[in-house]
């Protein structure tokens, strides 16, 4: 019985190097997928009209979305239609129509389809120029790049050790990359809010990695496995609490705010990958480093 318990305790010591094969395969797949996606789409994400430019129209009435889309898809470019529901009753309150067509053409087509004039009382129009959207998109990408570089610099300052620092940065990068792949596979058209969610994810991605690395490198007296297990209990509590909060928020806002729903969707996907990359990828690297360092 004692031998079986000992074997159970030491299973991670036996297989932690082999476990690194799983994230390695996922990262290779992610790179191949993103290269292929970029070649097909000319970008790393599918962008909505807030990033490509176009017109967004909100109609304050009940409409059949399928019939509306069939009636507009041949007359307007890249039509996307969403419904807005009452949070309590789940009754349809409005319909949002997004298209890359200009505002004048969109209004003309909608009035011909609906057979009445669109005014400030029954609708609202928003138009974003393509040059403005493209400029904003580039600025957001630069902000993400600067944030990631700054994060890496801070990590190196904190730990002042190459391998643990690289492990934290690699885990955070894998979180972003895998989340991006998942978002593209799900066919989500990323908005400015979605880009901001990726920016937020950088912060979410490193907190448990920093917790793990700090305890393993700096805590004295305990065995390596105990340091890792204590970090796991604290880190999983943090991540699962954040994930639960994000999921609750998603189900609350999904019926009336597509932007907030997209933020919470991306964060939820990122937090799931963060669990994997922290407690499989980073743990295995840091354990390998510590065992080589201390024999």
Specify the CATH number for the domain of residue 110: 3.30.70.330
Last residue of a domain, one of 93, 128, 163: 128
Q: Is the pLDDT of residue 131 over 70?
A: no
At 21-54, the pLDDT tens digits run: 999 999 999 999 999 999 999 899 988 887 887 8
| Residues 109 and 72 reside in one and the same domain | yes
Q: What is the pLDDT of residue 295?
A: 58
- Whole-model pTM: value is 0.85
What CATH number does residue 167 fall under? Answer: 1.20.1640.10
| Residues 290 and 215 reside in one and the same domain | yes
Q: What is the pLDDT of residue 115?
A: 87
| Residues 141 and 187 reside in one and the same domain | yes
Q: Is the pLDDT of residue 195 over 60?
A: yes
| Residues 176 and 267 reside in one and the same domain | yes
Share of the chain above pLDDT 90, in %: 44
At 140-165, the pLDDT tens digits run: 889 888 989 999 999 999 898 899 99
Tokens at residue 56, please? 């967004």
| Residues 80 and 105 reside in one and the same domain | yes
| Residues 174 and 195 reside in one and the same domain | yes
Mean pLDDT score of the chain, rounded to an integer? 87
Q: What is the pLDDT of residue 9?
A: 56
Last residue of a domain, one of 128, 152, 174: 128
Q: Is the pLDDT of residue 216 over 50?
A: yes
Q: Is the pLDDT of residue 8 over 50?
A: no
Last residue of a domain, one of 69, 101, 128: 128
Q: Which domain holds residue 98?
A: 54-128
132 — pLDDT class (breaks 50, 70, 90):
low
| Residues 8 and 139 reside in one and the same domain | yes
Q: Is the pLDDT of residue 264 over 90?
A: yes
Q: Is the pLDDT of residue 286 over 90?
A: yes
| Residues 183 and 250 reside in one and the same domain | yes
Structural domains of the chain, count: 2
| Residues 118 and 213 reside in one and the same domain | no
Q: What is the pLDDT of residue 62?
A: 84
């Amino acid at each position: 019985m004692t031998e079986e318990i000992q074997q159970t305790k030491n299973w991670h010591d036996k297989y932690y190097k082999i476990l690194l094969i799983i994230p390695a395969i996922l990262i290779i797949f992610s790179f191949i997928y993103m290269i292929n996606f970029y070649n097909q789409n000319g970008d790393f994400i599918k962008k909505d009209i807030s990033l490509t430019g176009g017109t967004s129209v909100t109609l304050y009435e009940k409409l059949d979305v399928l019939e509306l889309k069939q009636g507009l898809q041949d007359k307007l470019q890249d039509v996307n239609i969403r419904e807005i529901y009452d949070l309590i009753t789940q009754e349809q309150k409005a319909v949002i129509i997004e298209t890359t067509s200009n505002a004048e053409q969109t209004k003309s087509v909608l009035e011909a389809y609906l057979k009445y004039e669109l005014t400030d009382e029954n609708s609202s129009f928003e138009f974003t120029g393509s040059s403005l959207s493209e400029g904003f998109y580039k600025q957001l990408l630069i902000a993400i790049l600067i944030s990631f570089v700054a994060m890496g610099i801070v990590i190196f300052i904190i730990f002042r050790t190459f391998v643990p620092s690289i492990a934290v940065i690699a885990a955070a990068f894998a979180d972003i990359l895998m989340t991006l792949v998942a978002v593209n596979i799900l066919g989500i058209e990323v908005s400015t809010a979605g880009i901001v969610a990726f920016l937020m994810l950088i912060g979410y991605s490193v907190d448990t990695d920093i917790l793990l690395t700090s305890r393993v490198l700096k805590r004295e007296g305990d065995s390596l496995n105990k340091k890792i297990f204590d970090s796991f209990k604290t880190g999983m509590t943090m991540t699962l609490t954040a994930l639960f909060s994000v999921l609750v928020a998603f189900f609350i806002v999904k019926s009336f705010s597509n932007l907030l729903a997209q933020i919470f969707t991306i964060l939820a996907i990122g937090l799931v990958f963060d669990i994997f990359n922290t407690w499989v990828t980073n743990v295995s690297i840091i354990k390998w480093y510590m065992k080589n360092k201390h024999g």
